[in-house]
Structure 1
Amino acid sequence: MAGEVVDIFIASVRDGYVQVSAFVAVTVLLFSYIQYRTRGKLTAKLGDNSRIQPLVGALMGLTPGCGGAIVMMPLYLRGTVSFGTVVATLIATAGDSAFVILALAPKAAAYSYGLAFAAAVIFGYAIDQFGLGVGYVDRAVSQLSRPVTDGGSSVSVLGRSSNPAHEYEGPSPGHSHETGPDRESTVLTPLTHGVHGLWWLAAVGGLALGTTYLLRGAPEVPLSTGMSFSGLFTIVGITGTSLSFYLYFVGRHYIGEGGVGRAKDTFGSLYETFQHAAMETSFVTVWVLVAYLLYEYPVFLFNLDIAAIAAAAGIFAPIGGALLGLIPGCGPQIVLASAYAQGGIPFSALTANAISQDGDALFPLIAIDKKAAIIASLYTTVPALVVGIGLHLLWGPLFGFGVLGS
């Protein structure tokens, strides 16, 4: 039994990096590079065209990870985009759990996030056009006359008041509060920069192995070492995860976080852009490993049939997925996404959670306008319940839909 426990741990360390993290790195780097090259001009133009704001917000939220959604929150706090745009962004956001599903169940991701996008656009425009729940929102949001200590004025329900007091300059409380190094060391500072370089080599290797793995139909890969495919799969996976843990828990103090969990308008240099992608991916890697172990160990130790438990829950499965999405941050959502990839929860619960969750994007809003954050989060739960329950009633639980190798 001890040997199996160790094997589960090693396999989770390996698989999380090659199957998920390597693809996360490419996606985050691409988005960050666009920000670096455009110098934030795309977001600046958005404020000049209010008609497309909810649509653009939904598209930004649809990008894997939290970066696109985090970009939109300061724009609302500045009075640049509407409240409907914020809600549309949050509805479409699947956070870092999107990387898990995109890597392990791309077909399920296409349908789930497609439904989330449609719900985001419809609900976002409805809020702006018809003032959905306008009486309560007017009273709640317009009362935010002084949400910060500098004497800020109120934010209208459509978020169009030009209010510099709501400009968000602080870091996201979802991660560490420093983007630059907070310690100096003649040994660990250059070592960490070296680890950062090695991390990217591992990411390139992991991407090549992960792509090959998918092209082969996501087969079982035995634990082994050597120059064979399974050997390289194991070596690169363990190496990449180990380097990710170092960067996240130790290295960030010596070279900086790279803006983890906080999408900036632009990056100061190309190196900073790469560093941001590495640090963001390292954070995801840590949580993916936690998610894998939280699923695998109880199933093994208690001989659980998670699919049977979820099936017995019936319509409460998508309701639970929607309610779990009320928790800010990406950690719990990554656990749920991993459970889906393992056949543990139905497609209706995955979709309800994808619509309801806000990822790290809610943190900047919580930090400045707590009432607006609460209202926005509750708004995202409504379409999550409608779509999730509707899917369950129409097509049943659909376990394993779109999962590779199932």
Structure 2
Amino acid sequence: MLSLVAAIGCINEGVAPSGDSTTASIPLDEIAPPRSANAAKPAPGDVLIAGGAGASLRTLAKTEFFDQAAQKFVVTGSAISNRAGGAAIAIASSKVLLAGGFSGGASINHFTLSLEGNVVSAAEIFDEATGSSSAVSEMTVPRMGFTATLLASGKVLIAGGLDNNGSVLASAELYDPATGKFTPTSNTMSDHRVFHGATLLPGGKVLITGGATNLFGDTTNSADVYDPAANTFTPTGTAMDHQRAAHTSTILKAGPLAGKVMIAGGGGGSSFFLKDSSAEIYDPASGQFGLLTSFLNEARSMHTATVLDDGSVLLAGGFNGSVAIAGGALSGASGVISNSAEIFDPNSMEFNCVVGFNTDTLRCNQSMTSARAGQTATLFTTGKLRKQVLIAGGIGGNQPQAKGTPLSSAEIFNPASSSFTATSPMTTSRALHTASELR
């Protein structure tokens, strides 16, 4: 059994939750429909929502999509495997790779998500043309909390994560759509990593940053660059200024920092995860990291960072707090889940709250319809909602003080009005799920 500290995204050994989560009745909204040829079929520009941990203490196989035309969620063909903390990535026109994750029971208490079951190596392809999934070969090792990055070649780099023995991994592998198989990379990363960052660089290489390195609350400031041509990892010229896990890593596309990577927020430390409101920049040309002089308006971990059409970056939600760990288990958490958002301006290089800063709470004013962490955020690149962002699910509630409730709610951020608007909810509550815009 594993216990996930939802506040910072670190895996820790814990105590099994009371009750038998495997025998509890399944709510109707979590039952995956039978696999059939009559599944609802999404269209390009819709967003596929898969997996996650539901409100009934178990991981989900039920799959749905957000229909842009109708602006609602629609159930489609169920996945072959139920999973939470896995990865989903669009690999070709109409197809999405679903891989790894955790399968079993889930119980959320305060800021801790306890899991009973197995980390899996299973992988499958969802085809929007049929609304169904088909199995591919398994990953070389089971993983959850890993990163998946689509390379220019069409292959997918799978890096790090936690295996079924409770070990944080330094290994990586490649998925080749042409063969449907996974193969190990030529070498491993320089550090063990789970809940780290991965960003495709302009030249085709991949930057891997930070992460938790073990089950005892240790994080790292190390970073690697993966070279697809050599199929190898090389440590960066310098380490990050801060240790970070559950941070965001975003390629900037406008302003004086265009082509560089912004690493923001997260939590770091040794046996105590300190909240972090700093951000730093990685320069691919020099291989160096440097702290930004501006800070986020509030600390965030397990938040989302989305590059908007104008090149600015929306940072939304997340956990604002610190977590203590003793003996490999959560021993205390203090903080709130955020119901706010801020935007990084690539020209001024400043972070600005969406609806202003609150001098009493020392946080951004509420702008989101729900407080949420561990949610998904998907930029619409086509369709009637083009340039807007779909934010769905996560752990939270209506107020920042909410503790550990998987959410079915969703909302849309419109950059034109700089506002969030609630949309129809998902058909089931989800945390640690995936979201992918379909092509």
Normalising by structure 2, we get a TM-score of 0.27
Larger % of helix: which? 1
Task: Please report the TM-score for the alignment, with normalisation by the length of structure 1.
Answer: 0.29
Greater RCO, CA 8 A, separation 6+: 1
